[in-house]
């Protein structure tokens, strides 16, 4: 028998309820699909985007958890064998950056620590942060299966990520290349293209007298590394110079440079003559390959000019630029200087201008893999919500460049390979050992110390989270939905599709649901430096997880950004209270009626009310099915408040007080059953308060609302 209505405190206090209810669910074992009752057969799977284990959850995570939990709980009630796999991401570079800031504050530096010491410290920090992160996920009510939780540095995960690398190496899809990479001079690592951010920058365009030419450049300090001058083959002005060697003067002497012609030179830009510095410009490097030009490195890994620049050696790039320009002016080699605004790639974490640097690194050959992914999407194996992201995805897949997966940081999964410092070749750790002769040049091989780009492991996450290659859980693959922020359309989604297709020849998920960014109340991006960060946990403490969840989801359409207004969350706390009080009213007015009481004779008006409820159930269910959670939530809200509370309850009051037992009994039955139906349909949005209420509704069974069947029209 249910507990007495006296248990209904006034008003509803989430703080007293939520942790107790969460424990009830965990103890039930129903988060684990294998423990669900018999009726749950067909799998429904979501892999949680593993939050970074380097801090607390932010507002965006709140929306992620809310949406994914809504889907999972809805499908579980619909009788699916629902699995939501939680995880934690070591978040390679990101965490290393967080930790380096911490070291800086303590007056320490990673560059003064040995690799193992640094790794162990970051591991301790990460494992500690992971606990907080997990507590936050629980506080938001996530009904995920903690028994299956995976960490991206679990030994089994590490081993499998490395195995994928070996497989790709053997399949000729990963190779050791020597070419320009994005180098961050602060963090001392290369970065992939998606880890750089192009920033508009006001610079100067210097026109330098350059033998018989004038060349325009924003980087005069690289002149010492120039190896050629390039012109367009059709440029009448310069045709006669092509193939000749010219003499170029600079402050430290003279250069003898060959004049080459290349289609890529735009005759319209600058003077139509381009100085070629292969070691410090991506485009120039490519020309050096096609034209077999030498390469002269003049800037080192710290962004300082090296010994090849004479008196400028040791100067930082910007310092050297000023000095070189001054000296060129003295030599009367500067023709003019123009203001120039252009986009410059910067490190997305520290904003340092990226220094293109030619280095040996590991690359993934993208073209054949991207084609697999694009074909799968064109064949409609994957559906995007909202659908315009399909176009963005395809554009991206049709224009890929090879992916640099080497990072010069310790925090991550080590690349299982050996490298040759002499000829830049690479070999698998399964084929060679430290000290073996390089298969290419015969010199001794050394063990690779670089780690993987974190997206190399995250990209395999849907499989790894299900324990691949072990078969036990692969029945949950392909998963049903991948729900994540729209900013991950480039960074993460394509890589998961690619690895899924490559490793098991099946897409990792059938539907991609992308939510927008959660911004502050003015619609501005949240950032620590702006001080406008709103913590979902603070809001949960203040208004309850239920209010936060429904407040985040209602009014937010997929793909569109959301302005997080605290008053809105507050409004849904009021809604919680409304639900609570309506429940108190019903329970104190139904006598000994229970949910097991058979349906009594109803009046015509009662039938009308039930018909209307049936329509609401149908409509709300359809919204759930079609990922229109904002509409499902809104309709639930309005039905409960404006129809059930304002109209139906008010209408029943006289009947509850009436002496006519038939009229009274039907009113009681109606109220109790409409309430229960609403509680069920609200559960995915507001799991705590609804489970609490379900626990005190009078009925024989002691079952949890968590696994209650989804209601059907009466």
Partner RNA sequence: GGGCGAUUAGCUCAGAUGGUUAGAGCGUUACAUUGACAUUGUAAAGGUCGGAGGUUCGAUUCCCCCAUCGCCCACCA
* Tokens encoding 32: 């684990």
Q: Which of 39, 254, 653, 712 binds RNA (CB under 7 A)?
A: 653
Q: Which of 212, 571, 614, 695 binds RNA (CB under 7 A)?
A: 571
- Choose one: 71-79, 143-151, 238-246, 277-285; the region binding RNA (CB under 7 A): 277-285
Nearer to RNA, 30 or 403 (CB): 403
User: Residue 236 and residue 222: Cα distance in Å, rounded?
Assistant: 28
Sites for RNA among residues 94-153 (CB under 7 A): none
Binding characters for RNA, 204-243, by CB under 7 A (x = yes): ------------xxxx------------------------
In angstroms, give the least distance from the CB of 262 to RNA: 9
In contact, 656 and 663? CB cutoff 8 Å: no
Q: Which of 343, 472, 533, 601 binds RNA (CB under 7 A)?
A: 343
* Tokens encoding 433: 């050992």
Q: Which of 446, 532, 535, 560 binds RNA (CB under 7 A)?
A: 560
User: Residue 348 and residue 449: Cα distance in Å, rounded?
Assistant: 23
In angstroms, give the least distance from the CB of 587 to RNA: 9
Count of residues that bind RNA according to CB under 7 A = 76
Q: Is 582 in the site for RNA (CB under 7 A)?
A: yes
Q: Is 562 in the site for RNA (CB under 7 A)?
A: yes
Q: Is 631 in the site for RNA (CB under 7 A)?
A: yes
User: Residue 293 and residue 225: Cα distance in Å, rounded?
Assistant: 12
In contact, 413 and 457? CB cutoff 8 Å: yes
Q: Is 432 in the site for RNA (CB under 7 A)?
A: no
Q: Is 198 in the site for RNA (CB under 7 A)?
A: yes
Nearer to RNA, 287 or 315 (CB): 287
- Choose one: 261-269, 435-443, 590-598, 673-681; the region binding RNA (CB under 7 A): 261-269
Sites for RNA among residues 451-490 (CB under 7 A): 487, 490
- DSSP per-residue string spanning 545-613: HHHHHHHHHTT--TTS-EE--HHHHHHHHHHHHHHHHHHHHHHTTSTT--TTSPP----HHHHHHHHHH
- DSSP per-residue string spanning 436-501: PBPTTT-SBPEE---EE-HHHHHTTHHHHHTTTTSSTTGGG-SEEEEEEETTHHHHTHHHHHHHHH
Q: Is 193 in the site for RNA (CB under 7 A)?
A: yes
Pairing, β 406-407 against β 451-452: antiparallel
User: Residue 296 and residue 226: Cα distance in Å, rounded?
Assistant: 7
User: Residue 243 and residue 239: Cα distance in Å, rounded?
Assistant: 9
Nearer to RNA, 252 or 634 (CB): 634
Sites for RNA among residues 395-414 (CB under 7 A): 395, 401
Q: Which of 147, 244, 388, 618 binds RNA (CB under 7 A)?
A: 388
Nearer to RNA, 134 or 635 (CB): 635
Residues paired with 428 in a beta bridge: 417
Nearer to RNA, 378 or 525 (CB): 525
Q: Is 646 in the site for RNA (CB under 7 A)?
A: yes
Binding characters for RNA, 536-555, by CB under 7 A (x = yes): -------------------x
* Strand locations in 56-195 (E): 81-85, 87-88, 150-151, 174-184, 189-191
By three-state DSSP, how is residue 272 classified? coil
In contact, 325 and 206? CB cutoff 8 Å: yes
Residues paired with 202 in a beta bridge: 341
Binding characters for RNA, 281-320, by CB under 7 A (x = yes): xxx--x----------------------------------
Main-chain dihedrals φ then ψ at residue 52, nearest 5 degrees: -60, 130
Q: Is 267 in the site for RNA (CB under 7 A)?
A: yes
Nearer to RNA, 443 or 615 (CB): 615
């Amino acid at each position: 028998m249910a507990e007495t209505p006296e248990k209904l405190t006034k008003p509803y206090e989430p703080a007293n309820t939520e942790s107790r209810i969460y424990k009830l669910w965990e103890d039930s074992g129903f988060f684990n699909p294998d423990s669900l009752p018999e009726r749950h057969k067909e799998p429904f799977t979501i892999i949680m985007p593993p939050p970074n284990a380097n801090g607390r959850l932010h507002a965006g995570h709140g929306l992620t958890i809310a949406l994914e939990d809504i889907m999972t709980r809805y499908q579980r009630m619909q009788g699916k064998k629902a699995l939501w796999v939680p995880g934690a991401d070591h978040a390679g570079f990101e965490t290393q950056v967080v930790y380096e800031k911490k070291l800086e504050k303590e007056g320490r530096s990673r560059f003064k620590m040995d690799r193992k010491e640094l790794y162990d410290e970051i591991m301790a920090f990460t494992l500690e942060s992971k606990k907080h992160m997990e507590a936050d996920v629980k506080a938001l009510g996530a009904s995920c299966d903690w028994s299956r939780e995976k960490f991206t540095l679990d030994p089994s995960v590490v081993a499998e990520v490395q195995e994928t690398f070996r497989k790709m190496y053997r399949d000729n899809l990963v190779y050791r290349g020597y070419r320009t990479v994005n180098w961050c001079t602060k963090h001392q690592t290369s970065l992939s293209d998606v880890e750089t951010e192009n920033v508009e920058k006001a610079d100067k365009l210097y026109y330098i007298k350059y033998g018989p030419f004038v060349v325009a450049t924003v980087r005069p300090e690289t002149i010492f590394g120039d190896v050629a001058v390039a012109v367009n083959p059709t440029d009448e002005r310069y045709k006669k110079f092509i193939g000749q060697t010219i003499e170029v003067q600079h402050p430290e002497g003279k250069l003898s440079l060959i004049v080459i012609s290349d289609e890529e030179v735009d005759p319209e830009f600058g003077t139509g003559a381009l100085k070629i510095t292969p070691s410090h410009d991506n485009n120039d490097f490519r020309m050096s390959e096609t034209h077999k030009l030498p390469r002269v490195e003049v800037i080192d890994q710290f962004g300082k000019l090296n010994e090849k620049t004479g008196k400028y050696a040791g100067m930082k790039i910007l310092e050297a630029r000023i000095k070189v320009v001054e000296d060129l002016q003295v030599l009367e080699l500067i023709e003019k200087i123009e203001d120039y605004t252009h986009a410059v790639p910067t490190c997305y974490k520290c904003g340092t201008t990226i220094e293109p640097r030619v280095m040996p690194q590991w690359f993934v050959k993208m073209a054949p893999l991207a084609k697999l992914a694009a074909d799968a999407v064109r064949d409609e194996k994957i559906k995007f919500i909202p659908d315009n992201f399909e176009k963005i995805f395809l554009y991206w897949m049709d224009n890929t460049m090879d992916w640099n997966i080497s990072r010069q940081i310790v925090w991550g999964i080590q690349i299982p390979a050996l490298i040759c410092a002499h000829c830049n070749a690479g070999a698998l750790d399964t084929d060679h050992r430290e000290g073996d002769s390089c298969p290419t040049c015969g010199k001794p091989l050394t063990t690779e110390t670089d780690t993987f780009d974190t997206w190399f492991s995250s990209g395999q996450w849907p499989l790894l989270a299900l324990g691949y290659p072990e078969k036990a859980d692969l029945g949950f693959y392909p998963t049903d939905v991948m729900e994540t922020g729209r900013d991950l359309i480039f960074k993460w989604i394509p890589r998961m599709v690619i690895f899924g297709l490559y490793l098991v020849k099946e897409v990792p998920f059938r539907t991609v649901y992308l939510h927008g960014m959660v911004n502050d109340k003015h619609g501005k991006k949240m950032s620590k430096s702006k001080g406008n960060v709103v913590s979902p946990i603070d809001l949960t403490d203040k208004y309850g997880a239920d209010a936060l969840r429904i407040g985040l989801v209602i009014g937010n359409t997929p793909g569109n950004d959301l302005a997080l207004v605290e008053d809105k969350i507050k409004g849904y706390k009021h809604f919680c209270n409304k639900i609570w009080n309506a429940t108190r009213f019903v329970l104190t007015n139904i006598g000994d009626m229970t949910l097991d009481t058979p349906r009594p004779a109803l009046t015509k008006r009662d039938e009308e009310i039930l018909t209307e409820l049936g329509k609401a159930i149908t409509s709300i269910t359809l919204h759930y099915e079609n990922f229109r959670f904002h509409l499902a939530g809104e309709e639930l809200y309005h039905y409960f408040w404006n129809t059930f509370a304002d109209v139906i309850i008010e209408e029943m009051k006289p009947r509850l007080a009436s002496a006519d037992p038939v009229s009274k009994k039907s009113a009681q039955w109606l109220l109790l059953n409409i309430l229960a139906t609403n509680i069920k349909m609200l559960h995915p949005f507001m799991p705590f308060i609804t489970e609490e209420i379900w626990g005190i509704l009078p009925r024989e069974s002691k079952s949890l609302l968590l696994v209650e069947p989804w209601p059907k029209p009466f």
